[in-house]
């Protein structure tokens, strides 16, 4: 019989060998003719399946709400400085993307991991938060530089409102809200931030859709798919900041001496 030569690469999400490329088996023409959106394409290429409309709409809302947050945040700042150093689009973009991590925009996966573990183990918000404190770990998804208990993040509110209306269950999100109630009783800056909102709500999306096995959910959380949402979203804004600086013909950036404390 035929002997299959061993391959050096295995791939399961897309295939361009036929008449037209397919994403998770769905041909490009169906994607266009059936009016698929970016949320559907993400579902196919990341989760390898079509998701119901409320899920793809939620993904698209995450992308839209996280696309930009002004010029002062870490990512935009890096991108602006790089663009003003005369670098190209890709360099300016990745310079900004490289700031995404545990403090800025990249706390979604850890928020999902810790909230899931705490909820599934039945920890009270008090036990969870104080347990984290004992371990010296900041609660991912909690805290913000400018948002406060009396000046909440509108993005969080919008995501919560959408999920409460469309998701079959928002148990992880409600748990995150209880955690926030406890952390706000400790300090006014310890709000549920957009990373925490997306992390907890994505757990609800995965568990509530009925389309993922428990093992698949654990794998998604363990591998860490969810920071990808912020990376993808914020790329839109960082590209915009690059064009903005080029359009404005901004010169090389140099930080003012007066804003540095020179000390021994
Ligand atoms: N869990 C527990 N305690 C916290 C947390 C947290 N998540 N965040 C801040 N605190 C505490 C700090 O320990 C600090 O107390 P201390 O001075 O006694 O140590 C106090 O609150 C003030 O903290 P600051 O360091 O002044 O807060 P800062 O404004 O620098 O930090 C940040 C903001 C980085 C977002 C922080 O809250 C944090 O690390 N959060 C967890 C990571 C996270 O969710 N990042 C995503 C933010 S949203 C986004 O980037 C789109
Ligand atoms: C963001 O989305 O970039 C912000 O939440 C971060 C910030 O510090 O404002």
Ordered per-residue pLDDT tens for the chain, 264 residues: 788 889 999 999 999 999 999 999 999 999 999 999 999 999 999 999 999 999 999 999 999 999 999 999 999 999 999 999 999 999 999 999 999 999 999 999 999 999 999 999 999 999 999 999 999 999 999 999 999 999 999 999 999 999 999 999 999 999 999 999 999 999 999 999 999 999 999 999 999 999 999 999 999 999 999 999 999 999 999 999 999 999 999 999 999 999 999 999
> Does residue 207 sit in helix, strand or coil?
helix
Q: pTM for the full model?
A: 0.96
Q: How many angstroms is it from 249 CA to the middle of ligand 1?
A: 36
Nearest-CA residue for atom 2 of ligand 2: 69
C-alpha R_g of the chain:
21
* pLDDT given for residue 8 in this prediction: 94
Q: How many angstroms is it from 113 CA to the middle of ligand 1?
A: 18
Angle between the N-to-C axes of helices 108-120 and 125-135, in degrees from 0 to 180, rounded to the nearest 10: 120
Nearest-CA residue for atom 6 of ligand 2: 73
* pLDDT given for residue 127 in this prediction: 98
- Rounded Cα–Cα distance for residues 263 and 121 (Å): 48
| Nearest ligand 1 atom, CA 133 | 2
Residue with structure tokens 């938060």? 129
- Rounded Cα–Cα distance for residues 100 and 230 (Å): 8
- Rounded Cα–Cα distance for residues 39 and 60 (Å): 5
> Does residue 15 sit in helix, strand or coil?
strand
Q: 257: buried, middle or exposed (CB in 10 Å: 19+, 13-18, 0-12)?
A: exposed
| Nearest ligand 1 atom, CA 73 | 50
The helix/strand count (H/E) of the chain reads as: 12, 3
Longest dimension (CA), the chain: 78
Nearest-CA residue for atom 41 of ligand 1: 140
Residue 191 structure tokens: 């709000």
Q: Does the Cβ of 76 fall within 6 Å of ligand 2?
A: no
| Nearest ligand 1 atom, CA 143 | 37
* pLDDT given for residue 116 in this prediction: 97
* pLDDT given for residue 140 in this prediction: 98
């Amino acid at each position: 019989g035929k002997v299959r030569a061993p391959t050096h690469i295995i791939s399961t999400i897309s295939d361009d060998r036929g008449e037209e490329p397919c994403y998770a088996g769905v041909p490009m023409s169906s994607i266009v003719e059936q009016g698929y959106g970016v949320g559907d394409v993400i579902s196919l290429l990341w989760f390898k399946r079509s998701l119901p409309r409320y899920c793809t709409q939620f993904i698209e809302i995450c992308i839209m709400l996280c696309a930009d947050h002004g010029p002062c945040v870490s990512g935009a700042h890096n991108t602006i400085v790089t663009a003003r150093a005369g670098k190209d689009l890709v360099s300016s973009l990745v310079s900004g993307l490289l700031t995404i991590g545990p403090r800025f925009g990249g706390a979604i996966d850890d928020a999902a991991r810790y909230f899931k573990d705490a909820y599934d183990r039945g920890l009270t918000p008090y036990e969870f938060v104080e347990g984290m404190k004992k371990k010296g770990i900041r609660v991912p998804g909690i805290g913000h530089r400018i948002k406060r208990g009396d000046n909440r993040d509108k993005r969080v509110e919008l995501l919560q409102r959408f999920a409460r209306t469309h998701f079959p269950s928002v148990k992880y999100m409600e748990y995150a809200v209880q955690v926030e109630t406890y952390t706000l009783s400790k300090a006014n800056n310890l709000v549920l931030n957009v990373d925490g909102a997306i992390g907890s709500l994505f757990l609800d999306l995965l568990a509530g859709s009925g389309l993922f096995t428990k093992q698949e959910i654990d794998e998604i959380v363990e591998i860490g798919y969810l920071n990808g949402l912020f990376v993808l979203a914020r790329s839109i804004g960082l590209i915009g900041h690059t064009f903005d600086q080029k359009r404005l013909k901004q010169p090389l950036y140099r930080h003012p001496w007066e804003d540095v404390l020179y000390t021994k």
